[in-house]
Amino acid sequence: MKISIYQLVRELAMKSSRLSLGFILGFALLVQSVSAQEYVSSTSFTAEDEGSANATVTTESNAVGIPDGAAARIRVEGLTISAFPLPDIAIASKGTLNMFFTNSIAGGVTTYVRISDFESSIIGLDIDQLVGLLGLLSNQAISASSDGGTTTFKLVRDPAGALFLAVTPADQYTRVNVALDFAKIGTVAVGNATMDIEHAVAYTNTVFTPCESVPRFTNAAAETDGVSVTLTNALVNPERAIDGTMATFSVLKAAEVSAVAGTSQIIRFTKTLPGSTEIVATLSKIGLLADVTLLSNIRIQARLGNTRVGTVRTLQSLLLGLTLLDFDGLQPATVAFAPGVTFDGVEITVEGVANVLNSLNIHEVSARSPIVFTGGDLQVYDANDNINVNLTSATAFLLDPNFPSNPGQPGFSIACGTSTDYTYTLKDVTLVNARTTAGTLPNTLSLSLAGVLTGNTEESQVGVYFFDVEARNAFGQTAVTTFKIIIEPTLPVTLVSFKAASEGTTALLSWSTASETNSDRFDIERSQNGKKWDKIGTVKSNRESVSQRFYSFQDAQPLDGQNLYRLKMVDLDETFAYSHIENLKFASTAFLYPNPVRNAENLNLNLTDWSKIKQVKVVNALGKTVFEASNALSTGISTRNLSSGSYVVQVIHINGTISAHRFVRQ
């Protein structure tokens, strides 16, 4: 039952003549979507009425489940008067919304209660003004409790600027309670007040997965030594420090507190993070800064619950080599460090510089896995080539004993996100005309922010180049790794085409050149695995030519299966380069016959050039050699003494290659 202000005044008129208006508060929430969230499954309401002052709740079930824009509304009413030295008097109601979870939630896990639309019949005020000026939480006009033992609660914001009541029980719990007490609203208040509760959510998945973005909240008002600052504007737009954009920022002001006190903004994560996770903060705008050492009064420290943990870091120590011009508010600076201890929050504090520091802009604060960035080999290019290569194409290279200071690299990779989430710049690289040592690149090459190396090289720039690249993500994290590129002399042969085709059991190779200068020959090389290459022939070149020339070669005895071919183009001074690789595949011919072998027949081998054969072996199914010979087997292999079963003939060539062929003795 509603009661008018006039009725309340009449009930208390004989107790006091000093009356004042009551007031209200309100807040809004934008839910962050993450996995493993526990929402309220049911509710109940507790009303503590006094006289004609009643507490009620409407649409109580709206606080159940995931947010849908609807809310449960608590309404309290009353009259309170503080008329010192007379005793305080009050007729007031208190309403408590009890919210239950289906599953038990571990102690220390915070439930975030969305509260909004605080109103009264007398006046409407901004929630921040009420909380900041009147300390409604510290007066417990709004309070929280639970069935999980000692329970702390605090107002926080999400990245959208919406307000939550962060409720943290010490022990396991299944219920949180939020109360609105009219008697605690102020020393002089009259009327009614309402507060909406839209939902409550606990982030129950506390296991951190590398590279994930953990939801964040920030304190709604500045704190000093753990107590909310009651002065206004000590912390302006705190949500902008966690909204995911560098263009906006919160403002933390030191001038609102004494010179010996510290003003803090605290970022809270919904998960406990390992000590190897980096705290990343982007800051700007030092005010009347007369001495760079004053940056030691700006400190960043990890937190675990309400406890500061790890080593406190000063801005001066994190920005080594800083000058006054490096950090003037125009160019934000990003710092990143791993606290080395488990943590679930970050505290940024400005202390002791109220007269010299106007404000500190906090653009973004997050906790992120460190970048793991590896480089590699960008391959070989001829001088005068037009180079256009993306760093992502880099392949693995081993330690080169000629350059022992440059360890091998496994090829391009970058952890967390994709390669396009980063920008790339050369790191401490000297651009030179010609050099074969680390940390250099031809001065005609440049690296784009997208990681593409482009430009033309010259004969004078021939050499092996190792160079470092720094990758940077949108949050200011960086990592450096090494890449390699080789510039070789321009070859005397301009190869137009190189093709391979099969004709029966023969491989036909053909190629053509556009020009030749001091060219000596073409060595034809073959491989079956791409690792071990054998020279199978040579074709002389024309030495000097300015017109197109055509060449061919036949491989009459290709290998069974895959055959890889390449040209080794050799100059008169033995300088050489390789062509691209052509691939042909030949089906196995009847190398062994008859197969299977019956009636003690001889097994024949289809070999025409025994001069290239070193040894022939026959191996049984148990791996035991039952026959071997190093001479030509013109009459075949006798199978008279072989028992029935499966066997393998191993043909070992003089060049070291081994071919294997299976047959059956019946």
What pTM did the predictor assign? 0.62
140 against 87, higher pLDDT: 140
Per-residue pLDDT of 75-101, as tens digits, reads 998 876 665 555 565 788 999 999 999
Reported for 438-446, long-range contacts at CB under 8 A and 24+ positions apart, including other chains, are 438/403, 438/405, 438/406, 438/466, 438/467, 438/482, 439/466, 439/467, 439/468, 440/465, 440/466, 440/467, 441/465, 441/467, 441/485, 442/487, 445/387
CA 144 to chain centre: 36
Q: What is the pLDDT of residue 662?
A: 85
The tens digit of pLDDT for each residue in 407-429 reads 889 999 998 889 999 999 998 87
Q: What CATH number belongs to 493-586?
A: 2.60.40.10
**Residue (of 463, 515, 514, 454) closest to 489 by Cα position:** 463
Which pLDDT value is given to residue 402?
76
| pLDDT for residue 259 | 47
State residue 328's pLDDT score.
Answer: 54
Q: What is the pLDDT of residues 565-578, one digit of tens each?
A: 999 988 888 888 88
Q: What is the DSSP letter of 141?
A: S
pLDDT surpasses 80 at 110 = yes
β-strands 298-304, 250-252 pairing: unpaired
**Helix runs in 240-302, H state only:** none
Tell me the average pLDDT of the chain.
82
pLDDT at 31 over 90: no
Residue 367's beta-bridge partner residues?
A: 279
Spatial distance between the Cα atoms of 272 and 107, rounded to a whole number of angstroms: 13
100 or 460: which leads in pLDDT: 100
| Domain 216-368 grouped into CATH 3.30.499.10 | no
Predicted local distance difference test score (pLDDT) of residue 187: 56
Calculate mean pLDDT across residues 501-525.
88
**455 is written with which tokens?**
């430009």
pLDDT tens column, 382-392: 777 889 999 99
Tell me what pLDDT residue 438 has.
52
Give the whole-angstrom CA distance, residue 593 versus residue 610.
17
Q: Is the pLDDT confidence value at 436 over 50?
A: no
Question: How many angstroms separate the Cα of 617 from the Cα of each of 283, 558, 614, 666?
Answer: 75, 21, 10, 19
Reply yes or no on whether the pLDDT at 135 is more than 80: no
Per-residue pLDDT, averaged over 39-53, amounts to 93
Residues 282, 333: Cα–Cα separation, whole Å: 5
Q: Which of 1.25.40, 3.40.50, 2.60.40, 1.10.287 would CATH assign to domain 592-665? A: 2.60.40
User: What is the strand order of the sheet 235-236 is part of?
Assistant: 235-236, 250-252, 360-368, 278-284, 333-337
Is 373-482 CATH 2.60.40? yes
User: Are 216-368 and 373-482 in the same CATH fold?
Assistant: no
Q: Which residues contact 343 (CB under 8 A, 6 or more apart)?
A: 272, 273, 275, 277, 279, 302, 303, 304, 309, 310, 367
| pLDDT surpasses 70 at 124 | no
More reliable by pLDDT, 449 or 544: 449
pLDDT one-digit tens code per residue, 192-222: 888 899 999 999 887 888 888 889 999 988 8
CA atoms within 13 A on the CB side of 479: 17
57-69 pLDDT tens trace: 999 999 999 999 8
DSSP notation for 322-353: --GGGSSSSS-EEEEE--SS-EEEEEEEEES-
Domain ranges of the chain: 5-203, 216-368, 373-482, 493-586, 592-665
Question: For position 3, what pLDDT does the model report?
Answer: 39
Q: Report the C-alpha gap between 473 and 414 in whole angstroms.
A: 11
Share of the chain above pLDDT 70, in %: 81
